[in-house]
Amino acid sequence: MASKDAQNQRSRGLPGFLPGAPDPDHNFQVSLPNPGNQVWQPVLPPPGSLPPGLEYLSQLDLIIIHQQVELLGMILGTETSNKYEIKNSLGQRIYFAVEESICFNRTFCSTLRSCTLKITDNSGREVITVNRPLRCNSCWCPCYLQELEIQAPPGTIVGYVAQKWDPFLPKFTIQNANKEDILKIVGPCAPCGCFGDVDFEVKTINEKLTIGKISKYWSGFVNDVFTNADNFGIHVPADLDVTVKAAMIGACFLFDFMFFEHSLAGL
């Protein structure tokens, strides 16, 4: 009887491994972190089929992104490089993202600027690179719309986020490394977020089924007007491919630049 139960347990698989991934070694042990005063996401044993550093995403169905307030930019009214904390649903930091761009681009290209966002884990290892070229975002230029390239690990392209032309709604697609569409993201007609949350729905390619959403949380009138600090939540199925989750983190950065970034110098 015990042998039959063990066989059923093996057939169901162990938590933390994506559907279709090879079964882990039967001697694999799951250890729970000490909950006392835990701030950082504990280090997880890497499943063999996942890109290094993305094992943190394998069990998450909610990813929280918090933009850090730049006091120097608030005082001087200048645009500084963006920095983001990426956390799990318990508020534990799993990654930290830093924008790399030149001052000229931030000043004169503003929210359209080309930049690279480097995402590191808690040990300082770079695990994801997001490259954003200088492109348009107007419906009058449908041939040169926004696009992001996602690398994980750096140097290995795993996907893209591409804006699609639409006269009424902001629409984007999540693409794999071969630029084949995987998912669609559809935003509201007016994604300003002045007095409430703004939801970008994640849909299947035919747009018939919604599987998740990217939400920009409203942080209050004062914060929205006088700071650039934005908060986002990515709601996705826990068993979604980790490279797709990485692309959705990149999409979140793109939405921040396109729809919610503003310069204090213009107030």
Residue range 126-149, pLDDT digits in tens? 999 999 998 776 656 666 789 999
246: left (phi over 0), alpha (psi -120 to 50) or beta: alpha
Q: Is residue 84 part of a domain?
A: yes
Q: Is residue 5 part of a domain?
A: no
Question: Is 120 a residue whose pLDDT tops 80?
Answer: yes
CATH number of the domain encompassing residue 64: 3.20.90
Alpha-carbon span 253 to 241, nearest angstrom = 19
Q: Please tell me the predicted confidence (pLDDT) of residue 222.
A: 42
Q: Is residue 48 part of a domain?
A: no
Alpha-carbon span 84 to 77, nearest angstrom = 20
Q: Is residue 188 part of a domain?
A: yes
What total of structural domains would you count in the chain? 1
The residue range of the domain holding 123 is: 55-260
Q: Which residues are CB-contacts of 145 (< 8 A; sequence separation ≥ 6)?
A: 135, 136, 137, 162, 163, 164, 165
Compute the radius of gyration of the chain from its Cα atoms: 20
Helix segments in the chain, DSSP class H: 2-12, 71-76, 103-104, 221-226, 242-255
Q: How confident is the model at residue 190 (pLDDT cuts 50, 70, 90)?
A: confident
Q: How confident is the model at residue 195 (pLDDT cuts 50, 70, 90)?
A: low
Decide: residue 191, CB within 10 A, 0-12 exposed, 13-18 middle, 19+ buried: middle
145-188, pLDDT tens digit by residue? 899 999 999 999 999 999 998 888 999 999 999 999 999 999 99
Q: Which residues are CB-contacts of 114 (< 8 A; sequence separation ≥ 6)?
A: 101, 105, 132, 133, 134
Q: How confident is the model over 82-104, as a mean pLDDT?
A: 92
37-60, pLDDT tens digit by residue? 445 555 554 555 789 999 999 999
Q: Is residue 1 part of a domain?
A: no
H helices, E strands: number in the chain? 5, 12
Q: Is residue 214 part of a domain?
A: yes
Q: Is residue 37 part of a domain?
A: no
Q: Please tell me the predicted confidence (pLDDT) of residue 220.
A: 54
Q: Is residue 242 part of a domain?
A: yes
Q: Please tell me the predicted confidence (pLDDT) of residue 261.
A: 78
pTM of the model: 0.75
Q: Which residues are CB-contacts of 103 (< 8 A; sequence separation ≥ 6)?
A: none
∠ CA 40-13-182, nearest 5°, is: 75
Question: Is 33 a residue whose pLDDT tops 50?
Answer: no
What percent of the chain is modeled with pLDDT above 90?
49
Alpha-carbon span 49 to 206, nearest angstrom = 29
197-254, pLDDT tens digit by residue? 899 999 999 999 999 999 998 765 445 444 456 789 999 999 999 999 999 999 999 9
Structure tokens given for 156: 């290995």
